[in-house]
Amino acid sequence: MAWFKKRPFLWFILPGFALYSLFTVYPIFSAFQISLNRWDGIGPKTFVGFANYAELFGNKELFGQLTGAFRHSVVLFLLNTLAVLPGQLYMAYLLYSRIKGHRFFQAMIFSPQFIATPVIVFMGTLIFDGNIGVFNKLLEAVGLGEWTRPWMGLPELGIYIVWMMVAWSGIGVGMIFFLGAMKMIPVEMMEAALLEGASYWRRFFSIVLPQIKTTVLNMLILTYIFAMTMFDFSFILGGVSGGINRSVDVMALFFYRIAFGDNSAVGGTMNVNAMGMGTTIACVMFSVIFVVAVVQVVLTYRRTEDGA
Amino acid sequence: MNLKARRTYASSAILWLYSSFTLFVLGYMTYQAFRSKKELLSNTFGWPEVFNFANFGKLFAEAGFHRYFFNSVLILAATLLIVIGLSSMVAYGIGRFRFRFKNGLLVYFLIGLMFPVQLGIVPIFLLIRDMGLMNSQWGVVIVLASGLSMPVFLLTTFFEKLPADLYESAKIDGAGEWTTFQRVMFPLASPVVFSICIIMSVQIWNQFFVPLIMLQSEAKKTIPLMIMKFTNNLMYNIDLAMAGSVMATVPILILFFIFSGRVLEGVASGGIKG
């Protein structure tokens, strides 16, 4: 007791530490341990070493699903990085320079963040559905009637439709983060540039962008983690199977399909190795994220050392 | 100071177009929610013959919207309470006191930022099942409340910056550690706590993955799961999907628009790290 009395901080830290350790940290290690077994979640576990990994990368069907899902996750990441991120920076800079109506714009652009994913997908249906969609109606109205399509159901567009909904719902968060970072830039710096006659966009590229580069890097890693673990849009749009020809399949959905199968609460009815293979996929996702996260941390660390 | 661009017409036009699109989607959905199922499917763009609150009545009377709403509110309130309580204590412990492994402990709490709940869901599922909390809102609450990384980080930064005199003077007044924390320190952190509440609320309210896996019976499900049930079969349920989506979206957005200045400030302060 005396030992605890001397260390009052332990009382403050312990409850949170216990909950966090049990439900956030332990599951990562436990997942790795389970992935070395053949297990359906209920019956006895059989230790099989790295056989699940060998099967995931060696079995043609599984590996095909893995690469397909991974490719889609990468597409999401690239589109978010190349299209959404510049858009967020552009809009944040306009808001930063107090464009007329900036309060209204920032609220409007951020608002989809408050809309639950099933509602966003439903909104997508209202606009892009083949029969009741507004978009087809619009095409007809401007005389492009032959271009009407059941947009939501086209396999070749699948992942791009997912991306559009992801972008619309999420663009505001990054924008607000960037805006917050821009507001931290010392005013004197901007004034000096203005006095020297630097143009609007010149100031953006030479002062604003270098000043908020850490925030941009952080955003990049968050975008990456998001793309690798995004689940709900694809699941709601394409169901457990990931849509026609798995056109909207992503990593987290592939994992869910193997581990939890078709709505079964006890983990996959058809697969006797649901938990074993499921955790194997989770561990692959984990390493895919971990490697990139470490690289980013090292890069950021080196940069701050250089700066100091 | 004038940092404005000289000509922003093109940029203004883009922002207007984008905002109008969002407004249109919201308005269009709300408008359609007042029409009958038959008209929605067969006369989507025609002039409405029926325009009333029937879909909303059906949503409450037949589909039990209030039950899903109650479940969502319960999960949100309980999770927020636990997260705020535990994370402010942890952050106070790390930020206020000096001890060995202090920085290591903070890093330990930060690694959770890298690993979303999806990765560990199988062991989490098994833990919750063994605790007998499967198909209970409390299982969802515990899992969501364990995501302490972001709040611990924000609050630790806050408590570290508080002047030490504050703490010393409270101690001189004879207050114990707990009283100091509860009466003096925690109230000071309320702006940070507000930010955390905003950011976490959005995440918890729209949380889809954890409830999907943990909650099986209709009586326990949350609003996003209810909406998915309706949108899965639009031919039968498009009226309920419309009304449910409007009820799940419009009231929150109205609240957001009223308080948008403060809310967005809160979100921004959560984004500034390192």
Beta carbons of B26 and B253 less than 8 angstroms apart: yes
Contact B93 A10 (CB under 8 A): yes
3-state helix, strand, coil split of chain A in percent (to 5) is: 75, 0, 25
pLDDT of A264 higher than 80: no
Query: Which of B87, B112, B227 has its CB closest to that of A24?
Result: B112
Per-residue pLDDT at A271: 67
Closest by alpha carbon to B203, among B166, B138, B151, B260? Answer: B151
Q: Which domain holds residue A135?
A: 62-307
Query: Which of A20, A103, A114 has its CB closest to that of B253?
Result: A114
Look at chain A and count its residues: 308
Please tell me the distance in Å from B267's CA to the nearest CA on chain A. Answer: 7
User: What's the half-sphere exposure (Cβ side, CA atoms, 13 Å) at A176?
Assistant: 26
Task: List, in order, residues 6 or more apart from A235 with CB less than 8 Å away.
Answer: A253, A256, B208, B212
Per-residue pLDDT at A213: 87
- Using an 8 Å CB-CB cutoff, list chain B residues near A265: 134-135, 216
Beta carbons of B236 and B226 less than 8 angstroms apart: no
Per-residue pLDDT at A47: 85
**Region B29-55: what's the mean pLDDT?**
82
HEC per residue, chain B: CCCCCCCCHHHHHHHHHHHHHHHHHHHHHHHHCCCCHHHHHHCCCCCCCCCCCHHHHHHHHCCCHHHHHHHHHHHHHHHHHHHHHHHHHHHHHHHHCCCCCHHHHHHHHHHHHHCCCCCCHHHHHHHHHHCCCCCCHHHHHHHHHCCCHHHHHHHHHHHHHCCHHHHHHHHHCCCCHHHHHHHHHHHHCHHHHHHHHHHHHHHHHCCCHHHHHHCCCHHHCCHHHHHHHHHCCHHHHHHHHHHHHHHHHHHHHHHHHHCHHHHHHHHHHHHCCC
- Architecture, CATH, for domain B33-271: Orthogonal Bundle (1.10)
User: In the structure, what pLDDT confidence band is assigned to residue B264 with cuts at 50, 70 and 90?
Assistant: confident
Per-residue pLDDT at A245: 82
For residue A119, give the chain B residue with the closest CA. B245
Per-residue pLDDT at B85: 94
Query: Which of A28, A108, A231 has its CB closest to that of B19?
Result: A108
CATH of the domain at A169: 1.10.3720.10
- Is residue A57 included in any domain, yes or no? no
Please tell me the distance in Å from A212's CA to the nearest CA on chain B. Answer: 10
Contact B256 A111 (CB under 8 A): yes
**Region B138-143: what's the mean pLDDT?**
94
Per-residue pLDDT at A263: 47
Tell the residue number behind the tokens 């000043």, with chain if given.
Answer: A211
**Residues A127-175 pLDDT 10s:** 888 778 888 888 888 878 777 777 887 788 889 999 999 999 989 888 9
Contact A17 B274 (CB under 8 A): no
The structure tokens listed for A298 are 């090292």
**Region A168-186: what's the mean pLDDT?**
90
Contact A215 B272 (CB under 8 A): yes
Contact B41 A132 (CB under 8 A): yes
CA distance A260 to A265: 7
Residue A13, amino acid = I
For residue A29, give the chain B residue with the closest CA. B120
- Using an 8 Å CB-CB cutoff, list chain A residues near B178: 11
Query: Which of A23, A236, A252 has its CB closest to that of B228?
Result: A236
- Using an 8 Å CB-CB cutoff, list chain B residues near A118: 208, 224-225, 227-228, 231, 245
Contact A27 B123 (CB under 8 A): yes
User: What's the half-sphere exposure (Cβ side, CA atoms, 13 Å) at B227?
Assistant: 27
ipTM: 0.88
CA distance B242 to A113: 19
Query: Which of B26, B115, B225 has its CB closest to that of A28?
Result: B115
Average pLDDT taken over every residue of chain A = 85
CA dihedral A297, A301, A302, A307 (to 10 degrees): 140
DSSP state letter for A115: S
For residue B42, give the chain A residue with the closest CA. A132
Contact B8 A98 (CB under 8 A): no
CA distance A131 to A123: 14
Per-residue pLDDT at B274: 35
Burial A69-84 (b: 16+ CB within 10 A, else e): bbebbbbbbebbeeeb
Contact A177 B11 (CB under 8 A): no
Beta carbons of B226 and B68 less than 8 angstroms apart: yes
Beta carbons of A69 and A254 less than 8 angstroms apart: yes
CA distance A11 to B126: 29
Query: Which of B12, B115, B245 has its CB closest to that of A286?
Result: B115
Contact B177 A8 (CB under 8 A): yes
Contact A15 B86 (CB under 8 A): yes
- Is residue A265 included in any domain, yes or no? yes
**Region A186-193: what's the mean pLDDT?**
87
- Is residue A27 included in any domain, yes or no? no
**Residues B163-175 pLDDT 10s:** 878 777 777 777 7
CA distance A234 to A255: 12
Closest by alpha carbon to A229, among A98, A34, A76? Answer: A76
- Using an 8 Å CB-CB cutoff, list chain A residues near B205: 114, 116
Contact B267 A194 (CB under 8 A): no
**Residues A54-91 pLDDT 10s:** 888 888 888 888 999 999 999 999 999 999 999 999 99
Q: What are phi and psi of A38, to 5 degrees?
A: -100, 120
- Is residue A47 included in any domain, yes or no? no
**Residues A1-26 pLDDT 10s:** 677 777 778 888 999 999 999 999 99
**Region A172-179: what's the mean pLDDT?**
90
Our count of domains for chain A comes to 1
Per-residue pLDDT at A269: 45
pLDDT of A240 higher than 90: no
**Residues A197-236 pLDDT 10s:** 888 888 888 888 988 888 898 888 889 999 998 999 999 9
